[in-house]
A and B are shown apart, each in its own frame.
Chain A
Amino acid sequence: MRARLENMGLRPGKSVTKLSSMPSGGPIMVECGGTRVALGRGIAQHVRVRGASQRSESGTDRDE
């Protein structure tokens, strides 16, 4: 799972932007390094985000 996300460009230390979020526990959509990815809520909950700035961009520290 971690390898898959990393190959898709979602890696520790990268900044991510949340673009959309489906209601009632649906998937969320994020952008990271030019790639847009839809993630199931459960997976997204394992993505730890650190220090969000005003523009809702933030450094991440991902942890599978």
Chain B
Amino acid sequence: MAGTGIGGDTELATPDDTRVLLVGNPNVGKSVVFSRLTGVGTMCSNYPGTTVEFLEGSMRLAGERVPVIDVPGTYGLAATCPAEDVACRILDDGGVIVNVIDATNLERNLALTLQLRQRPLRMVVALNLWDETRHRGIHIDAERLSELLGVPVIPTSAVAGVGIRDLVEAIEHVATSETPEVLEPGDVWCRLGTIIEEVQQLEHRHHTWRDVLEDITIKPVTGILFGILVLLAAFAMVRFFGETVIAYVMEPLFETLWRPVVTALSEALGGAGFIHDLLVGSYVLIDGVRTLDFVQSFGLLTTGLFVVFGMVMPYVTAFYFVLGLMEDVGYLPRLALLLDRVMHRLGLHGYAVIPILLAFGCNVPGILATRVLDTRRERFIAATLISVGVPCAALQAMIFALLGPHGVQYVLLVYAILVIVWFVLGTVLRLTSRDFLPEIILEIPSYRRPSFRTLWQKLAMRLRGFFREAVPVVFLGVVVIDLIYMTGAFDLIARLAGPMMETLFGLPPETALAIAVGFLRKDVAIGMLAPLDLSAIQLVKSSVMLALTFPCIATYAVMLRELGWLDTLKATGLMLTIALVAGVAMNLVL
């Protein structure tokens, strides 16, 4: 069953006719069916010219390996949003259709099935979530449904792996047979009613614990309390996992296994020089000892590798796991519903909460995730808000370490100021953009038992994406900072900007250098503040300034790629303005 990514497979003469397309409404367990059919080794692609992603894998069909595509979820064949548009375009390119439908919600799902049946397509219907129908007192006559639709209907429970073998057989059969006759055009809704009446019987349903949970999570008061609990638990899990892995796995690995290698390389290169500083970095003084430091030396093989694997990856892995869990259980749409009103004040929809949540781990995946937003304007606002006002896990850890000893009230003050800045900036963005923000229409799926198979597959895919996107950028960032350091530009920045820091913000001139370094790594920059002997209030001010000014270079590069030059410049302008205003305001008020 296992197969590898199939991008650019040239073996197949007419890949479009043999490939298998999984089509269905959102939230019907399509991805679980996909992971059952394809096993490991999938890849995530963008449909050419769009930002809509879909999964691609392969399966063995009648002795041959054929591509399988998990088409973005769609409610109908008229494109009403970017994801649906991509779904329609993939369908137009041909293939064998596996229409995955939710057996617990036959009526809505069959609307798409009937629309598909009005096209000349070879197709199989997978009646998924079949096991759920029993708990809910739903009886469906699958054979009769198959007769009425004129295509095979296979009951499946993909999470448990039930019915997958039958489904594969049916796909094989359909793939080699003639295209079934198209259902004559007619009123889809009318026919839908007749079919439902004939094949489905409903029993009276008892109130289950799921209904109770449902009620708690969507009513305004209890829902918001529940939401806060879920988010706190998520943050706690991510921090716990991230910190544990860093302290007990990554740091020991780097110190015991990697340090000897780097030290030997440093000696071989003569301990200094251009190539040496680029690869290994420069020696720094830590507690009076001249040493190579994985955080501060800024070599490709020291800081470059350590930032990716030792600092960011553990948090990102934990974040993706928790997020995937919330996704698969079906909680995220409810969070979007609860927060829609608040997000509208910032010119965003409720579901922008997903990228923003992600950004609290690391801004890079957060900004990448803004792709889920429908309009360009929303993507711009979300990316700007993230880069300006969402401190990543590394930055938060440093703020805690630096301000914690002065008292927790100072830590809270930093967060409070960030929240204020956030809402001011969000309001400005909302009022200045002229685009129309369409209102939310969002299906709230039932709570589901997550499939760990799918969770794992999704985690692996997202991590691969993270490495592809982030690693080159971090390496580039390290090279750039090395080159700037060598030209002495940082000293110049500190000398030029220093007096300004004093008069405008009431901070010592040396903090300018920290903020300049913050462009590359925020956590490193905050570390630079430690020896300056600042007062608690000065630390609060400089922490806020660091959080508000440029995101780290990795985030910046991703922004550039996602938004383009013009919008990135606009975001930068906003960022500098708001940092300036906030800095002066803090100097006057605090």
Residues of A bordering B, CB below 8 Å: 1, 3-9, 11, 19-27, 29, 33-43
Contact = CB atoms under 8 A, between A and B. Distances in A.
A7 to B, nearest CB: 4
A38 B108 contact: no
B333 interface: yes
Interface in B67-122: 75-76, 78, 80-81, 104-105, 107-108, 111-112
B111 A39 contact: no
B80 A38 contact: no
26 contacts: A1-B441, A4-B76, A4-B81, A8-B441, A19-B218, A20-B218, A20-B219, A20-B223, A22-B220, A22-B338, A26-B220, A26-B340, A27-B442, A29-B444, A33-B108, A34-B107, A34-B108, A35-B108, A36-B443, A36-B445, A36-B446, A37-B443, A38-B340, A40-B438, A40-B440, A41-B439
A40 B437 CA distance: 11
B341 interface: yes
A37 B218 contact: no
Given A5-B441, A7-B75, A38 B337 contact: yes
A33 to B, nearest CB: 5
Given A27-B341, A27-B350, A38-B336, A11 B443 contact: no
A24 B339 CA distance: 12
A55 to B, nearest CB: 14
Given A20-B218, A33-B107, A34-B107, A25 B441 contact: no
A27 to B, nearest CB: 5
A12 to B, nearest CB: 9
B452 interface: no
B189 interface: yes
A29 B333 CA distance: 11
B26 to A, nearest CB: 10
A39 B439 contact: yes
A47 B406 CA distance: 56
A38 B440 contact: yes
Nearest to B81: A4
A49 B76 CA distance: 24
A1 B78 CA distance: 11
A31 to B, nearest CB: 9
B80 A29 contact: no
Contacts of B76: 3-4, 6-7
Nearest to A20: B218
The 3 closest A-B pairs by CB, nearest first: A40-B439, A26-B341, A7-B76
A38 B223 contact: no
Given A20-B220, A25-B341, A38-B333, A1 B440 contact: no
A34 B105 contact: yes
B196 to A, nearest CB: 9
Given A7-B111, A33-B107, A24 B341 contact: yes
Contact of A27 (B107, B219, B337): B337
Interface in B343-357: 350
Interface in B274-333: 333
Contact of B444 (A33, A38, A40, A42): A38
Nearest to B338: A22
A8 B337 contact: no
A27 B349 CA distance: 11
B219 A4 contact: no
Given A3-B76, A34-B104, A37-B444, A29 B337 contact: yes
Nearest to B138: A34
A8 B443 contact: yes
A43 B438 CA distance: 9
B439 A11 contact: no
Contacts of A40: 340, 438-441
B111 A43 contact: no
Contact of B441 (A19, A21, A26, A37): A37
A33 B108 CA distance: 8
Contacts of A34: 104-105, 107-108
Given A27-B341, A35-B105, 7 more contacts: A4-B80, A8-B75, A27-B337, A29-B218, A33-B107, A34-B105, A38-B336
A36 to B, nearest CB: 4
Contacts of A29: 218, 337, 444
B439 A42 contact: yes
B441 A4 contact: yes
Nearest to A2: B80
B78 A3 contact: yes
Given A29-B218, A35-B105, A41-B439, A23 B444 contact: no
B341 A22 contact: yes
Interface string B179-190: 000000000010
A39 B440 contact: yes
Nearest to B75: A7
Residue in B104, B338, B442 with the greatest tally of chain A CB atoms within 10 Å: B442
Nearest to B26: A8
